[in-house]
A and B are shown apart, each in its own frame.
Chain A
Amino acid sequence: MHGEAQAWVPDVLFGWNPMIVATAILVATYAVIMSEKINRAIVALVGAGMMIMVGVLNQQAAIRGVDFNTIALLTGMMIIVAITRKSGVFQFVAIWTAKKVKADPAGILFMLQVVTAVFSALLDNVTTVLLVVPVTLVITEELKVKPWPYLVALIFSSNIGGTATLIGDPPNILIGSATGLTFNQFVVNLGPVALACLVVTTIIFHLMWGRRLHATAEARARVMGFNEKEAITDWRLLKQSLFVLALVIAGFIMAHSIHQEPGTIAMFGAALLMLLHNLGKDAEEQSHDVHHTFGEVEWVTIFFFVGLFMVVYGVEQAGLLHLLAEMLVNATGGDMAVTAIAILWASAILSAVVDNIPFVATMIPLIKSMAPTFGGPENLEPLWWALAMGACLGGNGTLVGASANLTVAGLAERAGHPVRFVPFMKVAFGMMLLTIVIAHVYLYLRYLV
């Protein structure tokens, strides 16, 4: 992730030990991020600034620490989705599937999980739930059924769907970018486990809730009366967006053979879609449109990543991660199976209670430095899949486990249907552990036997 090591030697103020100073900055940064008292982007940037100011890094070294492939991939996809969502296509799909099951509440619960999982695999999870939750709330209100089962199920399927691909969830973007594992490798290795988890969770949600959901014939007729075509606000934009989205996904699939990084593909796709969207508009309209599109990029997330990359690079340069990796290898006796299983469970439990992005960002260089123990970087693959599965699926454990969960809770609260921490955890934590058991079995059978 960080390019070739350059000749930068930490030169810390007052001759303090770089490892201790860098560790203190990392711990303080993570503690404040976890306290949620200060916006996480601010905390990460302050932490990065301190790494440079005290001399653990200099500016050039800090910039080398930033994984611009990840930044470009995130920003590019955010731009593509910001434009695509204006066409109303996502509402169209949600309504269309609801009508396909004749507006049966249990059928809709199932269909919305499938739709959310597919969207989440191809888009960012937060974006997916932003698109699916509002229309879900309209449908449940018209059916006069409680939205709670739907909201919980959406959270699960967004995190499970996101596990399946390189672009589905930020931990996977980070891992893919750092290791060079391709889009196809992610699908082939994580797709099956995501599918298994989706099947199991949809069955459980059906037995727990779906089969008890009933709506009157009148209420169902109201939903059947929805006109999904009315949800499409701009047919021209719809065609342009789907064309570019298909092109970008084809690009991800062929990335290896066309020798391009996902960041370039996403950013080029974003530029292409902006070009198509602005063709024929006058200068003022273009300026307004481009301004609005860039405004939709979640800069908080982008700057959070930038700051975090620098903080993690600081501790890496100061030698802490190498030391921690040695300790982990000693603890697991250098056994691949034990190490992989330990990473899976530790990432799952930690990701359920804290933000999984800083955790994964720290684990990546740590796992990389274990390469010599396991006979080279090519043998580390099971560890990467363990980290990805643990971090993505673990996010389901509590309401704060993933950004998508908090987004659902925020939307639901504003619409008068609050999703609370404890009731969610009572349902979710056990089910999250079940998905990790599935991941455990999969990991063992596929890579460790």
Chain B
Amino acid sequence: MTCKSIVAPVTATLAKGDSVAEAVKALAAHGFATLPVVDAKGHFLGVFGVRQLLALLLPRAARLGEDDMPDLSFVSDTSEDIKARLKSFAKESVGKAMAPHRTVRAETALVEAMLLLERGDGFLPVVDEAGKLAGILTAEAVVARLAEGL
């Protein structure tokens, strides 16, 4: 079985030129934790969501990862400090702040897609052979389909 019949259409995307502030509004308006980022021709470029937003709100050294920056418990930033950091990023483009993300094709075997979902963020952008965003595969949709008729 492939992913084809479970792929949902894309309802919202971000453009790489959108600002972080616009992206935050779009996330809230659509109620998604993450949105795909596409170029003018609809090619998939990456994702931007709450995790990328958190990365912007933390001190940059947090990007060094768990091994090199194991904790930040000693930092005493107030919520005002953190909001100030967000403000300084508000006009930055989504293209700069987005993260790469694994994709699948509609023809990808369902088991393979499930493996990627299990290891990743719980959703996968689906692209066509030209790299254009063709749909979204979510863990919820897969589980819902497999639970049919239980």
Contacts and interface: CB of A to CB of B under 8 A. Distances in A.
Interface of A: 86, 88, 91, 95, 130, 133-135, 137-138, 141-142, 222, 225-231, 233, 411, 414-417
Contacts of B59: 137-138, 141-142
B149 interface: no
Please give me the 3 A-B residue pairs with the lowest Cβ-Cβ distance, nearest first.
A225-B76, A137-B61, A230-B73
Nearest to A136: B61
A134 B64 contact: yes
A91 B60 contact: no
B74 A230 contact: yes
B76 A416 contact: no
Contacts of B115: none
Nearest to A227: B74
B130 interface: no
Nearest to A219: B81
A222 B77 contact: yes
Interface of B: 59-61, 63-65, 68-77, 81
A134 B76 CA distance: 16
A91 B61 CA distance: 13
B63 A134 contact: no
A415 B63 contact: yes
B70 A233 contact: yes
A91 B63 contact: no
A86 B71 CA distance: 10
Contacts of B72: 138
26 contacts: A86-B70, A133-B68, A134-B61, A134-B64, A137-B59, A137-B60, A137-B61, A137-B64, A138-B61, A138-B75, A142-B77, A222-B77, A222-B81, A225-B76, A226-B74, A227-B73, A227-B76, A230-B73, A230-B74, A231-B71, A231-B74, A233-B71, A411-B64, A415-B61, A415-B63, A415-B64
Contacts of A135: 61
A130 B63 CA distance: 14
Given A142-B59, A222-B81, A130 B68 contact: yes
Nearest to A225: B76
B52 to A, nearest CB: 14
Contact of A414 (B63, B73, B76, B77): B63
Contacts of A230: 73-74
Nearest to B60: A415
Contacts of B68: 130, 133-134, 411
A225 B75 CA distance: 8
A230 B77 CA distance: 14
Contacts of A226: 74-76
B37 to A, nearest CB: 19
B76 to A, nearest CB: 4
A29 to B, nearest CB: 31
A143 to B, nearest CB: 11
Given A91-B74, A222-B81, A226-B75, A134 B60 contact: no
Contacts of B70: 86, 88, 233
B74 A222 contact: no
A233 B76 CA distance: 16
Nearest to A416: B60
Given A86-B70, A138-B75, 8 more contacts: A134-B61, A134-B64, A227-B73, A230-B74, A414-B63, A415-B60, A415-B64, A416-B63
